[in-house]
Each structure stands twice: as structure tokens, then as C-alpha cells.
Structure 1
Amino acid sequence: MTRRVLAAGTVCWRRVPMPDGERIMVLLIHRTKQRDVSFPKGKLDPGESMPQAAVRETLEETGLAVPLGVNLGTVHYELPNGAEKTVQYWAAEVDETAVHVSSFVPNREVEALEWTPLEQARKRLSYRADREILDVFRRLAERDAAETFSVTLLRHAKAEPRGDAYPEDRLRPLSDAGEDQAETLVPTLAAFAPARIMSSNAERCLRTVAPIAHHLRKTVRVREALSQDAWDAGETAELRRTIGKIVRKGKNAILCTHRPVLPDAARELALATGSLLGDYLREAAALPPGGFSVFHLSRKHPGSGILGVETYPLKHVE
């Protein structure tokens, strides 16, 4: 049986003013031992998710704390020992503050960082797989869609069952397993750097986002439009207004809601961005308790449609 090695990385980029206008620069790393030029990446630690590892490895190798943008794809290749390595990459915009506070110094793993003009980076990379990932990012940049924001649709974690103990459905709390799920979600949700956290008024939704809100020191904004009570009552106009406002703001957001609401929320997100409807929306909304889907949109041209969707179902819990 072939052994698989999982890894994650980023294509870090920034806009730099030049005499002839702004230029997109991408970050290449010169690795000490391998004597090659590549992107920041590394193997997952036990229990890590791909997004979590991508952010951690980028920080460790470059000293840059980055949020993840759109997923650029996955590459597979065989290692000298016969194992198959799978690496997933995200675009990661680097702001000037992150550059100025970078803690990078040459070390045993990375001997140099090189900010290279996008149009010159391809010939500097050592590996074909890296060049293919760069090509995906380059196509985004050519569409003026490099700057992105994300909207995360999150189903609440495992809740206590309905019963006489909770005369109002919205008062049902999370189960012990659900509380554990809510804590487990934190590092993966944080990798996408949410600026806003919105939740249904149901206790099980509020408890699901409480750990990530505490971690990021954010206030949870309660939106009745995300509640199952509003959905049951057929009150969908406010959901459309809520989604529309999120798209107009162009900031990373988490929306915690309920299983019946998720398909409508995904559909409204597609309609608000001029996206084609399709099975991908149904699949992104078919989430188990504690699962979530991240929709990536262009910050400059949100009406150009959804750029990508990635789904993270947590393991089933009893």
C-alpha cells in the first residue's frame, strides 16, 4: 500500500508600487537542504487540517502571518522513498504590516526569501507542479480577481435532542460532543481570518461560534434571518438582504445557521454574485453538524461570480 504524505502551502503575494504603476510580487523561498526554489509549504502535524497547516507552515518558514484566500488546487508527486505526497495550496495576500513585523532569519530550512514579479516567477521555480499552481494564481490576477474575500456557511455543531427539557427549539444547547466540535473548529476557521461572525439566535448556533469569537476577540452579531424559526415562517426576504449586505461589505464573514436554511443561504449567495446555479451549491450546503463551506469571491468584482468553494465536514459524532 502506497504511503501518503499530506502537506499544505501558500502562494504569498502583495502589490508593490513601482514607477510605472503597481506590480504583483509573489514570494519564493530558497530551501537550504534541497537547494531549490519553491513556495512555503510543509507536512501536517497530527490532528491538523490543511488550512491550519498552510498558515502555520507559512509563518514558520517565512515569518509572515497570513490569511488564506482562494484555494489554488492540489498537486501530487512521488517522493524518493516511494511515498505519494499531496500538497494543497491557497493564495495568501500579504499586507505591509505583516512584512514589516516578519521574524524571518536565514535558517537550516530556508536560506532566503525572494519577492519576484509575477511575470518572472515561473522561470525561477524549480518544479513543474509549483509552476502549475502559479499558473492558476496568474489567471486570477489577469482577471483582476486576486483580491478575494470569503463567506463561510457553518452548520451549528451537535445539539441536544428535542424534548420536554427545551420547550422552545431555539433554546436547545450543544451536546458535550458539540461543545468539543465547536472548539475543534477554531484553528481551521481562523485560517480564513473572518472579520465578522454572524449567527442565528438559537443557543446551539451561538455556542458553536463562541470559541472562534473568543479566539479572534470578535463580537457575534445575531441575525434572526439565519434562524430556523424565520425559515419555518417563510421569512426569506431578510435572508436575502443579509447576504446582500455581506457581499457589499466585501469582508470575510462566518454565518452560523441551521440545516434547512443552508441551501437557501447558498442560493442567495450565488444570486448576489451573479453566479450560475448548480449542484455545487447543493453539495456545499449538505453539511453535517459542525461542517462548513467557504465561498471565495472577488473583492473588486463580486458580481463576477463565486471563484471557488471548499467544504470541511467534521467527523461524525454521537
Structure 2
Amino acid sequence: MSREIFAAGTICWRKVPTEHGEQTMVLLIHRTRQRDVSFPKGKLDPGESMPQAAVRETREETGLSVALGLHLGTIHYELGGGGRKTVQYWAAEVTPEMALASTFTPNGEIQALEWVPLGDVRKRLSYRADRELFDVFLHLAEHELLETFSLTLLRHAKAEPRGSGPPADHLRELTRGGEEQAETIVPMLAAFGPRRIYSSTARRCLGTVAPLSAFLGKKVREKACLSQDDWDAGDLTELRRFIGKLVTKGRSAVLCSHRPVLPDLGRELVLATGSVPGDYLQEATVLPTAGFSVFHFSRRRPGAGILGVEVYPVKH
């Protein structure tokens, strides 16, 4: 049986000032043993997710602690001995602060890092698959769609069934399995660099984001408009206003809510950004417990609509 290896990586980029404004630079790595030029990437550790691995491998190879932006695509190629490798990539913006904090030193794996002007990158890459991936990145850069933020819709983790605890629905707690789910999703959610954590006022939602809050050192902001009680009342005015503010602010955030509320959250994201609705919304909002979807938008051009959606159902 042929073996399949999974890996993940990033195309790191930054804006640098020039005489005529700004220039986009892309990070290339020179690998020591292979003597090639490529992007940061590496194999998944046991039990690790693709987003988690992309962030970890980027940090280990470059010393840069990045958050993931747009998903750029997946590369497949054959290995010697009949194996196959699958690599997913994300764009990752590097701020001046991140660049200064890099701890990279040449080593036995990575010989050097090189920041290369956007127009010179393609000819420097050693592999055709990397060049094809870069073409996707280049298209986004040419349309000024690299600077993005994400809004992550998260369904609460598994909770005690109705009728087994407090009479009020919003007081239901997470089960032991739900608490484990909430811990499991932390590094996956953190990979997208949320700057805010919002939650329904229900205990099962607050319990779901508590581990993420502790990990990031960010407080949870309770929002009644994300609750099922408000949704049952049938007035979406406050929910629409809240989503509009999030899109206007352009900060990455996690929104923890309930199964019946999530489809309306998705629809409000479509309306707030002038996006085209479609079947993708159902897949992105009908989620299992602790499942989540990451919606990406342009910071400069939020009216460009939803640039991409990543769906992460959590295994039970």
C-alpha cells in the first residue's frame, strides 16, 4: 500500500516602504540539504491539523510567529517508492514587529531566508508546483486582496441534553466530551489569529471558548444577539447590526453560537459584504458540535465579498 504524507506551509509576505510608496516582498527559504528554494512547509505531527502545522512549521523554519490568511490551495506530488505527498498552503502577512521578533539563524535544515520582490519570486522557485501555487498568490496581490481578516463561526461543543439538568436551556453545561472538544480546537482556532472572541450568553458557548480565551489571553465578549434565546424571539436587528460592525472594523474574530443561529449568521455575512449566496453557505453553517468555518474578507476592500471559506468539522 502506498503511503500518503500530509504537510502544510505558508507564503509569507510583507509590505516595505519605497520612494514611490510600498513594495510587496515574499519570503523564500534556501534549504540546506536539498539545495533548493521554496516556501516554509513541513509534515504534520501526530494528531495535528493542517492550519496548526502551517503555523508551527513556519515558526520552526523562519522564526516568524504568523497567523493564517487566505487558503491558497493544495499541492499533490508523488514520492519515491510509490508514496504521495499532499501540502496545503496559506498566505501569511508578516508585520514589522513580527519580522523584528524573528529568531532565525542558519541551521542544518534551512541555510538562509530571503525576502524577494513580488515580481522576482516565480523565477527563483525550484519547483513547478510551487510556481503554480505562487500564481494564485500573485493573482490576489495584483487585485489588492492579500490584506485580509477572518470571521470564524463556531458551534458550541457537546452539551448536556435538554431535560437532564437545569430547566433553562441557556444554563446547560458542556459534557466531559464537550470539554475535550473545546480543548482540542484551541490550536486550530488560534492559527487564524483572532483578535476578539465573541460568544452567546449560554453557558455551553461560554464553556466552549473558555480554553481559547485562556490560551490567547483575551477576554470573552458576551453577546445576547448570538444566543438561541434571542434568535427564538425572531428579531435579527441586533445581530445584523453586530455583523455590520465586525465587517467595518476588519479585525479577525471568533463567534461562538448555536446550530439554528449559524445559518442566519452566514446570511448576514453575505449581506454585509455584498457577497454572492450559494450552496457553500449550508456546508459552512450546518456544523457538528465544536465544528467551525473560517470566512475570509479583504481589509482594504470588504465590499469584494467573501474571498474564501474553510470548513472544519471536528471529529467525535
Q: TM-score range by the shorter chain?
A: over 0.9
TM-score (norm 1): 0.98
Q: What do you get for the CA RMSD once the two structures are aligned?
A: 0.7
Aligned-partner Cα distance in 2 for 1:45–1:27: 24
How far is 1:286 from its partner? 1.3
SS of match in other structure, 2:307:
strand
Aligned-partner Cα distance in 1 for 2:5–2:152: 28
Counterpart residue identity of residue 272, structure 2: A
Instruction: Name the structure 1 match of 2:274.
Output: 274
Q: What CA deviation, in whole Å up to 9, does each residue of 1:210-256 have, x standing for no partner?
A: 00011111111111110001111102111111111100110000000
Aligned-partner Cα distance in 1 for 2:39–2:3: 23
Q: What CA deviation, in whole Å up to 9, does each residue of 1:53-77 have, x standing for no partner?
A: 0000000000111010010010100
Are residue 212 (structure 1) and residue 212 (structure 2) matched?
yes
Gaps of 5+ in 2: none
Instruction: Name the structure 2 match of 1:38.
Output: 38
Counterpart residue identity of residue 46, structure 1: P
Instruction: Name the structure 1 match of 2:131.
Output: 131
Aligned length: 316
Instruction: Name the structure 2 match of 1:245.
Output: 245
Aligned-partner Cα distance in 2 for 1:257–1:308: 21
SS of match in other structure, 2:112:
strand
Aligned-partner Cα distance in 2 for 1:45–1:311: 21
Instruction: Name the structure 2 match of 1:203.
Output: 203
Instruction: Name the structure 1 match of 2:154.
Output: 154
Instruction: Name the structure 2 match of 1:55.
Output: 55
Contact 1:225/1:235 (8 A) holds in 2: no
Counterpart residue identity of residue 276, structure 2: L
Aligned-partner Cα distance in 2 for 1:267–1:188: 24
Instruction: Name the structure 1 match of 2:300.
Output: 300
- Within 5 Å, give how 1:68-79 maps onto structure 2: 68-79=68-79
Aligned-partner Cα distance in 1 for 2:260–2:165: 23
Instruction: Name the structure 2 match of 1:309.
Output: 309
How far is 1:133 from its partner? 1.2
Identical-pair percentage: 68
Instruction: Name the structure 2 match of 1:163.
Output: 163
TM-score (norm 2): 0.99
How far is 1:82 from its partner? 1.9
Contact 1:149/1:252 (8 A) holds in 2: yes
Instruction: Name the structure 2 match of 1:90.
Output: 90
Aligned-partner Cα distance in 1 for 2:234–2:160: 25
Aligned-partner Cα distance in 2 for 1:57–1:161: 40
Aligned-partner Cα distance in 1 for 2:3–2:273: 41
Contact 1:240/1:268 (8 A) holds in 2: yes
1:23–1:162 Cα change, 3 Å: same
Instruction: Name the structure 2 match of 1:229.
Output: 229
Which 10-residue stretch deviates more, 232-241 or 292-301?
A: 232-241
Aligned-partner Cα distance in 2 for 1:10–1:49: 14
SS of match in other structure, 1:289:
coil
Counterpart residue identity of residue 260, structure 1: P
How far is 1:98 from its partner? 1.1
How far is 1:81 from its partner? 2.7
Q: What CA deviation, in whole Å up to 9, does each residue of 1:74-120 have, x standing for no partner?
A: 01001123211000000000011111111101001000001001111
Aligned-partner Cα distance in 1 for 2:122–2:35: 17
Instruction: Name the structure 2 match of 1:285.
Output: 285
How far is 1:20 from its partner? 2.6
